Amino acid sequence: MNAAKAGAASGQHKLQAEALTFGSHDEALEAFHGRGWTDGLPVLLPTEQRVRAMIAGAGRPAADVIGLVPPRWAEATVENMAINAVMAGCLPEHMPVLVGALQAACDPAFGLYGIQATTHPCGILIVVTGPEAARLKLNAGFGCFGPGNRANASIGRALRLVLVNVGGAIPGQGDMSTQGSPGKYSYCTAENEGATPWEPLRVALGYGREDSTVSVFAAESPHNVNDHQCLTAHTVLSSIASVMATIGNNNASCIDSGDVLVVLGPEHAQTVAAGGMTRRDIQRFLFDRARNTVGLLRQRAQWSMARWPKWINQDNDETLVPLVGQPEDIHILVAGGAGKHSSFIPTFGVTKSVTKRIERVGK
Amino acid sequence: MTLCTDAFLGLAREEARTLGMPELPLVIIPHPLGGEPAERVQARAAGALDGVVAALTRGAP
């Protein structure tokens, strides 16, 4: 068994990773677990053949540096990302999404050092929209946050393994999250474009309809909004606003340094659209309604860390404080299957989501 | 020099190393600091003072 955390040197392009040899598959797997290279679950062993196929899927040279990953500030290359993608169970065609996700995560606006090292339980949520989402068979329907779909599960897991094995986000060492999160195993979904009554997310963000994009959010787990009762746009959105306006999330105190994500289930989206509301109207409504009072925030949350815009009157306990600095920082995504559930996803708060175009190989 | 609580010592050492400053003096105070009453924070400061002076004048204590 010639596994590579590591591919050996052969063929026309020499790989950088060290070749490792084990007596058996089981021995190799135990070694990977023992060296802290897994997320605790079994991995597919990164043999040289598999790693080379994954590199080919990226359509870039193996030595290309995609980003510097904190807190270790190590280079994520196509090769070491491919190794982790193999381990996570990816197909070679998933690589352009993984590369785009890491480019986005390494954008300074995202603030990856804080995201990796914070005590807050943020995973990195990957959202894919556009033709590539369908081509790669990403699940945007029932169970869009998992489990059960290979592309969602393995792409999200691959990014986490890169963050750990390249970036050093080892719990208690480089990842200081107090409790961690299920979203730190794998956290990847797609836009249900067929059920989106408005322009797709990527178009709202300034990309073309023909583009495919990948966005990253430093995201808590989804907070559910169950509303089987409300049948108008304003009442459904009021339920969502009530889930948003909780004082324990980071955005309650961070305000304009962060953004948040609302994921509308298709049935709630249809109800809201039937009320004549546009994407912009929804953002404005939630910006106005999802608020906490200064008096409540003063006693709780992270009052001592608050750095707020001057237009918020901190001297009046009745002042209503939004979660973000402007309506556009409440992103709206439609995803999921049938049923009257939506979700609110708070973020680390000192981070803005970043979107990159997916560069498809051979396009 | 950098002040940190003992719970974050591993991260601080690793970060200093990866940023090319393995000898960065670290002064360690007991965790936690956040949420502690003022008198305990004062006690933490008093306990760390000699270490801070030593780090700034002679390197790592």
Q: What pTM does this model have?
A: 0.94
**Chain A contacts of B14, Cβ < 8 Å?**
71-72, 168, 173-174
Its ipTM equals: 0.85
Comparing CA positions, the residue from A46, A130, A59 lying closest to residue A94 is: A59
**Chain B contacts of A74, Cβ < 8 Å?**
18
Chain B within 8 Å of A167 (Cβ-Cβ)?
no
SS3 string, A253-300, reads: HHHHHECEEEEECHHHHHHHHHCCCCHHHHHHHHHHHCEEEHHHHHHC
The pLDDT tens digits for B8-59 are: 999 999 999 999 999 999 999 999 988 889 999 999 999 999 999 999 997 5
pLDDT of residue A2: 61
**Chain A contacts of B11, Cβ < 8 Å?**
71, 117, 173-174, 176
- Find the angle CA(A183)-CA(A187)-CA(A189) to the nearest 5 degrees: 145
Contact map slice: A 168-187 vs B, CB within 8 A: 168, 172-174, 176
> How many residue pairs from chains A and B have C-beta atoms closer than 8 A?
21
**Chain B contacts of A68, Cβ < 8 Å?**
none
Q: Contact A317/A177 with Cβ under 8 angstroms?
A: no
Residues A292 and A252: their CA atoms lie apart, in Å, by: 7
Q: Contact A159/A99 with Cβ under 8 angstroms?
A: no
- Average pLDDT by consecutive 10-residue portion of chain A (363 residues)? 49 84 98 98 98 97 97 97 98 98 98 97 98 98 98 98 98 97 98 98 98 98 94 96 95 92 98 98 98 90 74 92 96 98 97 95 63
Neighbours of A110 (CB within 10 A): 20
pLDDT of residue B34: 83
Give the torsion sign (CA, A160, A334, A230, A293): positive
Distance from CA of A267 to the nearest CA of B (A): 43
Q: Do A117 and B11 touch (CB under 8 A)?
A: yes
